[in-house]
Amino acid sequence: AKDMGRHTYRFFKPAMNEKAVERLSIEADLRRALEREELELHYQPKIDLTTGLTCGAEALIRWNHPTRGWIPPAQFIPIAEDCRLILPIGEWVLGEACRQAQRWAEAGLWFGTMAVNVSAVQFCELNFAQRVFAILSQAGMDPKRLELELTESVLMKGTESTAPNLQTLRSEGVQMALDDFGTGYSSLSYLERFPVDCLKIDQSFIRQISAVGAKSTLVTTIINMAHTLKLRVVAEGVETKEELQFIKNRGCDEGQGYYFSRPLPSSVFTQRLLLSNSV
């Protein structure tokens, strides 16, 4: 039995430790990633489905780790949220995205709005709205050019500062979008308590959509409901011509996905704007 125990120990415990150690090591490296300039933003265009022109850019974080290589955000954002490193990281993301937006604006390049993902941990901070205004004014950016993407988890966690933060930001013209729409719970009741400007239909609803079937009914219903509530609708994860046709036919306002473009380094995005969106 003792042998058995040791065997189990060997088989099971180290695997758990490895995971914990890995997590700690990512956390330690993440602390230094900002100073060492290992973090970078890529930008994915949003397309106005009526004109076919770029009408927005979503900033997506990338981490170029010195030994592990590129680590996707899904692997380190949750860790950053747990240890609250998401606060300085999120602050950097906002600043960097606003500076980039201002560079495009000053170069006469029309990019529409710059969208930035905001974690629930950030949004629940008491002074979040003030932080955003400070960053905007430092970058010299018009608040109307900024869009913040929140997930339903932000509204679900909802502290007493959630509604005031939302209201203050919107009163200055900052656009608010609800990300991954349809994947959380009781989305509709949140919309009443926490008014936003835009819904982003989660990619899982768009993937392999066909004219028949539950997905198509859901997407059609979300688009119509959003329009009744006077909200803009963006379809995420558009990968094929068929998916584009589907959302376009149903009056969806904007599309985003590999069909149009992958997220791009700022220099490549700039080239894209130079080719199509000069004013």
| C-alpha angle 93-150-147 in degrees, rounded to nearest 5 | 60
Q: Secondary structure of the chain: what % helix, strand, coil (to 5)?
A: 50, 20, 30
List 180, 243, 253, 254, residue binding Ca ion (CB under 5 A) = 180
| Span from 13-21, 85-93, 141-149, 260-268 in contact with Ca ion (CB under 5 A) | 141-149
The reply to whether 54 sits near Ca ion by the rule CB under 5 A is: no
Handedness of CA 210, 215, 219, 221 (dihedral sign): positive
Matching residue, tokens 């997506």 = 60
Of 31, 44, 118, the closest CA to residue 76 belongs to 31
DSSP string, 194-235: S--SEEEE-HHHHTT--SSSHHHHHHHHHHHHHHHTT-EEEE
- Contact status, residue 257 vs residue 241, Cβ threshold 8 Å: no
Nearest distance from residue 230's CB to ligand C2E, in Å?
A: 23
Binding site for ligand C2E (CB under 6 A): 44, 60-61, 72-74, 77, 90, 93, 117, 119, 149, 179-180, 203, 237-239, 257-258, 263
Binding segment (CB under 5 A) for Ca ion, from list 47-55, 173-181, 205-213, 243-251: 173-181
Residue 57's closest CA among 141, 143, 136, 146? 146
Smallest gap from residue 84 Cβ to Ca ion (A): 21
Residue 220 binding target from Ca ion, ligand C2E, none, CB below 5 to 8 Å by type:
none
CB of 100 to ligand C2E, least distance (A): 13
Report what 72 binds from ligand C2E, Ca ion, none; CB cut-off 5-8 Å by kind: ligand C2E
For Ca ion, which is the closer residue by CB, 102 or 256? 256
Nearest distance from C-beta of residue 150 to ligand C2E, angstroms: 10
